[in-house]
Amino acid sequence: MNLLLVEDDQLLGETICDGARQSGWRVHHVGDASSARAALVDHAYAAVLLDIGLPGDSGLAVLRAMRVRYDSTPVLILTARGRLSERIAGLDAGADDYLVKPFQFDELWARLRSVIRRSQGRVVPVFTHGDIQIDRSRRVVKKAGADVILSAQEYRTLLALIERPGHVVTRDHLHDIVYGTTSDVESNTIAVFIHQLRRKLGDDLIRTVHGLGYIVGQPT
């Protein structure tokens, strides 16, 4: 399984990475909020180990951006901020668990296994539109019973549209879901993802509403 570690303390980060690899995990380590956002857009992880105090922006901002994009990857917060109010803020932002520094590594791995188990046991709805099904718990998309391979960006674009059948979703909103509100990615990338989704799932799935955005199904 792949983990994302977001930790700006280089020595602690290297120590966690060494322990993770010894425990059989593959780990990607970044040290700031911007790098974390980029990694989460481009890759899928079994879980995220997230520090709150990061250069550039807080870990809570990274976490909130994940949940806005329908990214349900389990998040274990690692922080020296142990006050009750701060723990509550982290959990309310969408964290699955909270571990205060300094911690024992055996507890870290136990909590990590726990949040992953809980995430795998969640009851997550399967979205259906015609012959297309999206299983959010496994991030699997099927058309007429056959698996369809989508990139992470294509998947998030499709999910944002198919969750709102009959409603126009603006290009700006899709951009924010796929990349986050602070991204300066070129504006035509959403059109590229829409093109790829039509190629893989059928030209009639997503309709363009000129000057506004895109829609799945008939307007309500």
pTM exceeds 0.85 for this model: no
Q: How confident is the model at residue 16 (pLDDT cuts 50, 70, 90)?
A: very high
Backbone angles phi, psi at 193, to 5 degrees: -65, -40
Q: How confident is the model at residue 146 (pLDDT cuts 50, 70, 90)?
A: very high
Angle, vertex CA 117, rays to CA 32 and CA 103, nearest 5: 50
Q: How confident is the model at residue 200 (pLDDT cuts 50, 70, 90)?
A: very high
What is d(CA 34, CA 182) in angstroms, rounded to the nearest whole number?
9
* Range of weakest confidence among 39-43, 101-105, 183-187, 215-219: 183-187
Looking only at the bridges linking them, the beta strands covering 75-79 and 126-129 are: unpaired
Q: Does the pLDDT value for residue 181 go beyond 80?
A: no
* 166 close to 219: Cβ distance less than 8 angstroms: yes
Q: What is the mean pLDDT of residues 88-110?
A: 87
pLDDT at 177: 76
